[in-house]
Amino acid sequence: MQKRLLLDSQLLQITIQRLCQHLIENHNDFSSALILGLQPRGVFLANRIQKVIQELEGCHVEIGYLDTTFHRDDFRRRGIPKKASETRVPFLIEGKDVILVDDVLFTGRSVRAAMDAMISFGRPKKVELLVLIDRLHTRQLPIEANYVGKQVNTLASQYVEVGLKEQNGDDSIWLMNIEAE
């Protein structure tokens, strides 16, 4: 199996720092902004972003977790039902700026499901999307990210492997080729 390194530990840290700077530029002290991390890996990223913003600006951003399992449009089309993870939105999102956070933007279907799940908690004023890796030319829905860590040209047959420390990885992100038999 061929693989290519997209981000290593150091680059990942720099990328998150840059994304946070960009967020601070747009949202100042986050008094009307919230972050929702998408299960599972968007949650770890959301936690890291919260910490970095705290360090940089000294302000506390509220974060929540969204699980999209029950909102996916491909339930019963992928064989086995997916087990859900925790959804935790301990605040009102009505009238707020919501920043959705995920690791990889691929077809756009998770983000669509996430927006559907999010609406159950109220009507935000504005919704933005932050992703670490944006896979170009693979979208199946008209969805784009506002904050992008790294854009990558990929084929549909490839996949992006995200190994974060929170999941016993070494904070590296790889592009993998699945070779045809």
Residues of this chain, 4-63, that bind another protein according to CB under 8 A: none
Q: Is residue 109 close enough to count as binding another protein by CB under 8 A?
A: no
Q: How many CB atoms lie within 10 A of CB 179?
A: 8
Which one of residues 25, 76, 168, 170 is an interface residue with another protein (CB under 8 A)? 76
Can you give the length of the chain in residues?
A: 181
Among 13, 15, 69, 177, contact with another protein (rule: CB under 8 A): 69
> CA torsion, points 90, 94, 97, 103, in degrees to nearest 10?
50
Per the CB < 8 A criterion, the answer to whether 124 and 98 are in contact is: yes
Does 112 participate in binding another protein (rule CB under 8 A)? Answer: no
Our CB check for another protein shows the closer of 32 and 81 to be: 81
Q: Identify the bridge partners of residue 99 per DSSP, sorted by sequence position.
A: 35, 128
Q: Which CB, 39 or 154, lies closer to another protein?
A: 39
To the nearest 10°, report the CA torsion of 136, 140, 142, 144: -30
CB of 57 to another protein, least distance (A): 31
Q: Which residues bind another protein (CB under 8 A)?
A: 67, 69-72, 75-76, 80-87, 116-117, 119-122
